[in-house]
Structure 1
């Protein structure tokens, strides 16, 4: 309970500062709108149907892009973490591409896919896949050698050791990796929507910038933050449900 109060106090402090600098006129509304102005903009967008439509479009894009990236990153990352041959093949390639700025690929992605959802999927995939592979490989490398040796002693073949021991032992860490990467995916989605989109939260922010509608910009930013926080909490709750023993280890 005490920690929840501490967490709430942090949010309350930021809100109090926001109110103080805007309602007193210390900062002009053009640079930072009041909470009331943002709330009124939210009501207007909800009544027009734009608000939830943008959320639905953006959430659909990030979900599909994230699922595609994870579907490929999970097996490759596991094999990199358990096979020196796979590591030797993939590590130079992944290490090279993951340092390339994803934003630089946006012009090419528009040329290849236009402004369709496929372009958003591609940017999300490119942004999170290579980082995800490296992190999942590290998760598998951290599995204790003694646990693997027990499986080999019991007569399990290599595939069974990877599937039934390494992956299961690493799953709590892999879940934390997915939780982290999900947050990164939001960043790349917004970048893609800012440049090449006709709908979505990023598009709404960019459109508002053209008309100096700062209350719409702040509303979009806050909406993304709230969605990210909610989904992060869901990831955390599901982690506790799927891997309850990890919570006991943390307490001990």
Structure 2
């Protein structure tokens, strides 16, 4: 039992998944306690219980099956919001990955790249992204491009610097070994630095994907009429907090599934890294 509390030591899989389930149970208990506290003050509309949120989901499913209003309309809105939001996040995140990874590799591999790119990056990334909303509207209008660009800017700079840090973590002795065996500078990057950094880069992508979903809410405040963030704000105006919580739970489930997908991909694609950690 003492081994369960040893730093960085592996634990049996049943203990791991049991602890994960217990964490959600504790969260539900705290949620129920908070809902009961507000209900005791006659303010249950401000903080709905898990059962009330579950009822929202049940009504939506029933409405989708029977076509009964307004549940059917709520389900249709949710499906549309999910599709639109997923497109916005995916487009912005893909664009950020396609541009940030090459630049991050350049910064981490070459001192001249670091000197040329990183100071400018550090300057720009401290400008609050929401402060750029008026400029994005002026440049790109109120259509999809401005929303995608806001999410892109919220993830691009962090991802680029995280990739460069992963490149720098590769021991320089490995690069010197390439030169000793007659390898070129290009091979030092493509055959050593990149392969050794890919597990960390995928982990950086996993983290930045979460940030992209966080920026989604801000992006959908920019003259949107569809999307998860737009719908949450609309429900807030009418104090429909049970539906707000339903959308928040849906966002959490999406994030958890994407996180697990990234972890699974990393575990399958980089088995050698998993073995090294163990």
User: TM-score normalised to the size of structure 2?
Assistant: 0.86
Runs of 4+ residues over 6 Å off in structure 1? none
- The residue number in structure 1 matching 2:125 is 98
- The residue number in structure 1 matching 2:114 is 87
| Equivalences for residues 1-252 of structure 1 within 5 A | 1-23=14-36, 25-26=39-40, 28-46=43-61, 47=64, 48=72, 49-251=76-278
Alpha-carbon offset, residue 150 of structure 1: 1.5
Alpha-carbon offset, residue 104 of structure 1: 0.9
Alpha-carbon offset, residue 156 of structure 1: 1.9
Alpha-carbon offset, residue 123 of structure 1: 0.6
Taking a change above 3 Å as real, the CA distance of residues 114 and 242 of structure 1, as seen in their structure-2 partners, is: same
The one of the two structures with greater contact order (alpha-carbon pairs below 8 A, sep at least 6) is 1
Alpha-carbon offset, residue 45 of structure 1: 4.1
Alpha-carbon offset, residue 211 of structure 1: 0.9
Are the aligned partners of 2:142 and 2:222 in contact in 1 as well (CA < 8 Å)? no
Aligned equivalents of 2:196, 2:173: Cα separation in 1: 12
Aligned equivalents of 2:31, 2:146: Cα separation in 1: 36
- The residue number in structure 1 matching 2:11 is none
Alpha-carbon offset, residue 3 of structure 1: 1.6
Are the aligned partners of 1:38 and 1:216 in contact in 2 as well (CA < 8 Å)? yes
SS of structure 2 residue aligned to 1:60: helix
Number of equivalenced pairs: 251
The one-character-per-residue Cα deviations of 1:162-207 (angstroms, maximum 9, x if unpaired) are: 1121101111111111111111111111111134311111011011
